[in-house]
Amino acid sequence: MDAARADLWLLDAAAVDAALAAEWLSAMGPGERHRYHGFKRPARRAQFLAGRMLLRRALMEAAGIAPHALEVCERPGAAPELRVAHGARAPYFSLSHSGHWIACAVSAATPLGVDIEIMDAARDIAALSAQAFTEAEAAAIAALPEPGRVPAFYALWSRREAEYKLGSAPSHFHAVSHPELSVALCTALPLQSSMLHTHRVRAQDW
């Protein structure tokens, strides 16, 4: 059996201007536009919009699915459902956002879950660890030298979020190095490192 492949896309959406946002919004389906307008905070609208456009780009470049052949159907409380023209099978995908960063993971071979987190050293890592992790896990993070506590906290946090999105156990964990983000990808099938392809894009390069 061939090794599973996954593509991970990271978008820095900080430079999305009003003109590009309007262009992106016009490309979305009615259900997506309805959900977009339901968000009260402009920042959350921007994240949603960028995520849906990154999904389309990832599916086009990684799976050869043209945007006009794709319908993204909203499901309250769950990830959207993808419908591809002519009954073609939709790939597995997962979306995540943190601040102006958006991530989309796509695979034709394996279910997956992705999570990204901006590593914020100003947060109370000890208190958050006590709330989110087991006593042993929180103690292990607290025992690390101070420079290592923040990345260790976010690595575990993002891994748990990715596992939750995947929704199946056991899972295979893949950490992706990034200077600003903690990036965690969990897959149902194992991936060789050569079969995980990471793409970094900017809004101005769209």
The tens digit of pLDDT for each residue in 66-123 reads 999 999 999 988 889 999 999 899 999 999 999 999 999 999 999 999 999 999 999 9
CA 189 centroid distance within chain? 18
Q: What is the tally of structural domains in the chain?
A: 1
Please indicate, yes or no, if residue 104 is contained in any of the structural domains.
yes
CA angle 17, 35, 21 (to 5 degrees): 10
CB 32 within 8 A of CB 52: yes
pLDDT in the model for residue 194? 81
- Establish if 206 belongs to a structural domain: no
pTM comes to 0.93
Range of the domain at 77: 4-201
Residue keyed to tokens 């009954």: 87
Element (H, E) at 11: strand 4-12
> pLDDT tens for residues 33-58?
999 999 999 999 999 999 999 999 99
